[in-house]
Amino acid sequence: MALKSSLIYFTLGNLFNHKEIGNYINETNNIKYSQSDLNEIISISKKIFDNIEEKETKNTKNKEVYQNFNIYYTITNTDIFYLGALKKGFESKEDEDIIFQLFYDIENQGIKKLTDKNGELSKIGKQNLKFCIEQSNKNTLKKNNSILNFFKMNNNDKEQNSNTISLLSTQINDIQNDVKDGMKKLLTNVDDIENLNTKSEKIKDSSVDFKNEATILQKRIKCRRISILICFIVLITIIILSIIFFKK
């Protein structure tokens, strides 16, 4: 069954940072709505998104009725906000099922992840969103099982998130152990460096002592040489004087 009342506007946003991820405006010729209606829908959608909080019940099917349109919205366990506005005229209970089925399809296809560096839908993301919405007017409704799967899927997300948290906790513990081992090695290296510094200081002191002793030894050798030279000169002088004395 296709939507009996046409989809005018669709948006999805991230409640974690309260930023719109992307939107879709139906600009086909087979749907007629006024610009004032569109402006009102966008304004109401923004107000709902700005005022909604992460702590609100997840996976609840919400509906707000206005003069020319109805607004449907929900929040997933991944804190993604989905909202669609349907034009009034031939609305039915099936439309409500189909719009929430559409939320399921878009969530299931991971369109929320097709974003650019600013966290907004990329060109591919916009194309996938448009295709998925337009297909909702052609495809057959997959009864209540698909809708139930939407909420089961989000419940499964809780288990996946729990498993992810457990895995992250294990990885964090491993990292902490690696850091501890690294700190122990670092402290050991610091001790080794301190020992090397101590040894180098001793070697430096020893080299200074050696230099001082070498200087003293050089001075002693020099003094001894001078003493020998003086003795030699005195001896030569005595010999010369003796020769002169005996000639007389």
Domains identified in the chain and CATH numbers: 7-141 (3.30.450.50)
How much is the CA Rg of the chain, to the nearest whole Å?
Answer: 46
* Number of Cβ atoms within 10 Å of the Cβ of 39: 10
- Out of 22-36, 88-102, 134-148, 211-225, pick the least confident: 134-148
Longest dimension (CA), the chain: 162
Q: How far is the C-alpha of 213 from the C-alpha of 78, rounded, in Å?
A: 81
Q: Give 53-56's long-range contacts (Cβ < 8 A, gap of 24+).
A: 53/15, 54/15, 54/16, 54/79
The more confidently predicted of residues 227 and 137 is 227
pLDDT (0 to 100) of residue 23: 92
Torsion of the alpha carbons at 211, 212, 216 and 219, rounded to the nearest 10: 60
130-162 pLDDT per residue, tens: 888 877 655 533 433 454 455 555 555 555 556
Q: Is the pLDDT of residue 12 over 90?
A: yes
Q: What is the reported pTM?
A: 0.53
Q: Which residue pairs, CB below 8 angstroms and at least 24 apart, start in 207-213?
A: none
Cα angle value 171/157/101 (rounded, 5°): 155
Task: Let me know: does 150 contact 103? Beta carbons within 8 Å.
Answer: yes
What 3 state SS string does 55-87 have?
CCCCCCCEEEECCCEEEEEEECCCCEEEEEEEE
pLDDT band at 243 (very low <50, low <70, confident <90, very high): confident
Secondary structure letter of residue 242 according to DSSP: H
pLDDT higher at 139 or 46:
46
Give 157 or 88, the one with higher predicted confidence.
88
Give the pLDDT band of residue 10 (cuts 50, 70, 90): very high
